[in-house]
Amino acid sequence: MNNSEAILLLEDGSTFRGQSIGIKGSSVGEVVFNTSMTGYQEIITDPSYDSQIITFTNPHIGNTGVNLEDMESLKIHASGIIIRDIGVSSNSWRKTDTLPNYLKNNGIIAISGIDTRKLTKVLRTTGSQNGCIMAGEIDLDSAKEQIKNFNGLDGKDLAKKVTTNEVYPWKEGLVDIYHRHDQKKTEISFKVVAYDFGIKHNILRILEGYGCELTIVPADYSVDKVLNMKPDGVFLSNGPGDPKACDYAIDNISQLLSKKIPLFGICLGFQLLALASGAKTVKMKFGHHGANHPVMNLVNRKVFITSQNHGFMVDEKTLPDNLKPTHTSLFDNSLQGFDIKGNYAFGFQGHPEASPGPQDINSIFEKFILHMTEKRNASK
């Protein structure tokens, strides 16, 4: 593997030298760390990582190559990849290519061979920093200038960048992707419109598995057009960037709340639902990125291990009286879920669809189904 030299430069001047495992060039973004032990392909194709450079704390990445099933979107959205060690070889019966080839074919700047443990300690101490990966011809002055010109994620609307440009149906379920011939597809019971702020494929597969006929719409799709589809419920997806910058989405969600249509928000969708209800969001020091995050259900005190990926959070102190906290993080006590009293609306900050990670809290999708059922019965 003939890898050229590469460097990672952080805005505080910290410099890490390694080898390039992607294309030559440079890329700038917010440097974060992810603690997941598995699922690197699902992570780098998650649209929520747009404009971010991912540091994998697991030292060995690429061992199983890449495949066609583990893509959470149609391309890599991360601005760059940082790993400790790239495997000399990769093996899996599902493998279609190696990770380095996949990165190069997608035009991604990536670096390996650096001390990711030291880097993670820096980021935990200082908080997420803007940084630049440069591969091939190294020019530190140019890297510094690129970092200086990158404004970070505060105030940045990235949902419009990653969203779909057109309305389309989604019909693929877990039965299809994993070829479970012993299982039958669930009969369609509910019409659901899903706002795409950067939606992951596995969320859609799970909703399809619960009998939802899904229509995906752009992030700024008008409420009137959504209502004309006569949905049983509306799903608000995950996505990248600062939720406060998505004023069009906040306004749309406010209108949907007034119609008392069942709403379910995940990640960015959770934050937008909170903003539309009168709460506030804040930037986190280094965010939650990983698949080992314990979350407690405040109703029954059960603890779930969850997947997380967010750099902003809902400030629980700003919740209006009609928002009831339902889940909390046992890492830092940040808000992880709420119900909206007098409405069929709720949200969850983490990723119950996993991909990658544990599926402990996958059953929260059933709450959305229950709300749509209750609303339908109340309308009879």
Largest distance between two CA atoms of the chain: 68
Amino acid at 345: A
Q: Please report where in the chains the tokens 């799709």 appear, as a residue.
A: 221
E strand or H helix at 207, and its extent? helix 201-209
User: Residue 302: CB partners within 8 Å, gap ≥ 6?
Assistant: 296
Take residue 319 and report the two structure tokens written for it: 């919740």
132 CB neighbour count, 10 Å cutoff: 27
Task: For residue 374, report the phi and psi dihedrals to the nearest 5 degrees.
Answer: -65, -40
CA distance linking residue 367 with residue 348, whole number of Å: 11
For residues 51 and 158, what is the distance between their CA atoms, to the nearest angstrom? 8
For residues 167 and 297, give the distance between their C-alpha atoms in angstroms, rounded to a whole number: 35
Residues acting as catalytic residues:
267, 351, 353
Shortest CA distance to 158 belongs to which of 63, 238, 70, 56? 238
The whole-angstrom separation of Cα 159 and Cα 313 is 16
* Contact (Cβ atoms closer than 8 angstroms) between residue 81 and residue 112: no
What 3-state DSSP class applies to 27?
A: strand
Rounded alpha-carbon distances, angstroms, from residue 60 to 40, 91, 380: 10, 13, 56
Q: For residues 44 and 77, is the Cβ–Cβ distance under 8 A? A: yes
Sequence-distant (6+) residues with CB within 8 A of 141 are none
